[in-house]
Amino acid sequence: MYPHFRGTGVALITPFKSNLQVDYGAFKRLLEHLIAAGVEYLVPLGTTGETATISKEEKKEIFTFVMQTVAGRLPLVAGIGGNNTEDILESFRTMEIAGYQAILSVSPYYNKPSQEGIYQHYKKLAAHSPLPIILYNVPSRTGSNITAETTLRLAADCSNIIGIKEASGDFEQCTAILRHKPKGFLVISGDDAITLPLCALGGDGVISVVANAFPEDFGIMTRLCLKGDFAGARPLHNKLADIIRSLFTEGSPSGIKAYLSEMGLVENVCRLPVVPVSEKFQARIRGYLLEYKKN
């Protein structure tokens, strides 16, 4: 039902200037870099976009900027989530998301709701959302897991919940979802490192961090996986393995911003409490880049 969300989606960073304002010039460079590389879709204002430190007014401006810059060349998924259900419903009413095709909404964090609480949260969002919803399960950040049972219940009960970005790292859980999901329900990797094996199980691709900097190779790898050509995909998976591992060594999106700054696409600036990687680690990143270019 939603083939445009199969393949590589990119969890966009939000570029900042040294004065901590959003750098729209760099943002445009990044978007054109990704469009030219042939990724399948873009996701502004997810976790990688440092959304927790971006004001509601800035979010409106970013959604509009991305939509106007992309100008229909790629599908767009708006990151709209949080831990206050009513506040998310208010965002649905007030955010400028004309031109977007879906909403990615993270499971409520910090509250640590029960599975029934998670179910009721998403059921209410689904009843009021102007667009189809993709669930986002990332227990390492939220402090709670969306179980396979809850995911399948939501998939069965809410026709406009169209998929899940799964970043639990639990293959038993992913397998249960893939085995029992309704036809057309998307299971999308939320972890670059497991994109290949998740596709082998029947997954639909990835919403990627590493593809901000390496969209062409990672996009090709994912498309090969979706065609079942894992022999062709493995060399690209291995080529990017050290880089993917390095992205979270000193925090995210610090890692990917370090790569993008070395490539001249953005300034190496984050908003507190996120800080850039250390100079020692930045030197290691330069080494990974050099090794990548050799291969």
**Catalytic sites, residue numbers:** 136, 165
Work out the angle between the directed axes of helices 24-37 and 215-226 (0-180°, nearest 10): 40
Q: Which two tokens stand for residue 116?
A: 């029934």
Strand partners for 16: 22
Going by the DSSP 8-state scheme, the letter that residue 118 receives in this structure is H
Task: Find the angle CA(70)-CA(76)-CA(80) to the nearest 5 degrees.
Answer: 125
H/E stretch holding 1: none
Measured distance between the N- and C-terminal CA atoms of the chain, rounded to whole angstroms: 38
Q: How many CA atoms lie within 13 A of 23 on its CB side?
A: 23
Rg over alpha carbons for the chain, rounded to the nearest Å, is: 18
Residue 3 corresponds to which amino acid?
A: P
Q: How many CA atoms lie within 13 A of 226 on its CB side?
A: 20
Distances (CA, A) of 218 to 37, 221, 224: 10, 5, 10
